Amino acid sequence: MSNHLSTSSVPLLAGLNAPNLLDLLADGVYITDRQRRIVFWSAAAERITGWKAEEVVGWHCRDNILVHVDKDGHALCGEEHCPLHHSVVTGQPSAAPVLVFAQHKRRSRTPVEVMVSPVRNHAGTVIGGIEVFRDLTDYMQDQLRAKRIQAMAVNCPLPADDRVAFETRYQPRDIVGGDFYRMSPLQKPPPSSQARQRGRGSERAHHQALERDLPTTRGRKSAPSTCDAWPTQPLCTGSA
């Protein structure tokens, strides 16, 4: 008897086989041989992708069926980037779930979270692979909504100055997120002594001219209004 079964579980599992158990899962499951030809397609896989078992069993997932791509649109069905192929060749399961986009029967793209593992026979030889995938459609809609909000929140128009330029080359690993940055105007350098003297001279002449031109009120001239400095504030704060 298998070490994974207890004697009390035998009546419970009577009449059940592996395909029956896999069909009970909410996540999609399919199994392939070493050439990645599909030999099993679960009920949840049908629901998530729209492909019926009789339409895909005996075919490869790259045969215009799932045709997985990553979030940037790069094809994953070759031997170099396919998670399932890597698992079959190395004999190792995936260490973490991978976000990919599977082709639905309607030819739209369905975001799924994928976990893969090799399938071994009783002798321990790898004879194929198994992939379990979870539908992330609702999650991705929330992520894309957050991405639009983030894009509006971090919009940072630069001042009309040819001396200033800013370019973001950072690409976040996930749909949202990234590095935060802050841009602030530089403080003007203190004027030299000669510039201060010239400034005081021109300011004195300006005030004298105002005193000559301003009307008097009860024999006294109105004091000119002045503005010492504009308030400074950060141009923007946000996330790249």
One pLDDT digit (tens) per residue for the chain, 240 residues: 455 555 555 566 666 788 888 999 999 999 999 999 999 999 999 999 999 999 999 999 889 899 999 888 888 988 788 999 999 999 999 999 999 999 999 999 999 999 999 999 999 999 999 999 999 999 888 888 887 887 776 666 666 666 666 555 555 556 666 655 555 555 555 555 555 555 556 666 655 655 555 444 444 444 443 333 333 334 344 444
> At 101, is the secondary structure helix, strand, or coil?
strand
- Extract the runs of DSSP E, i.e. beta strands, from 50-148: 98-103, 109-120, 126-135
Which is nearest to 239 in space by CA: 140, 124, 154, 116? 154
pTM: 0.60
Domains of the chain: 12-135 (3.30.450.20), 153-186+235-239 (no CATH)
Distance CA 68, CA 51 (A): 14
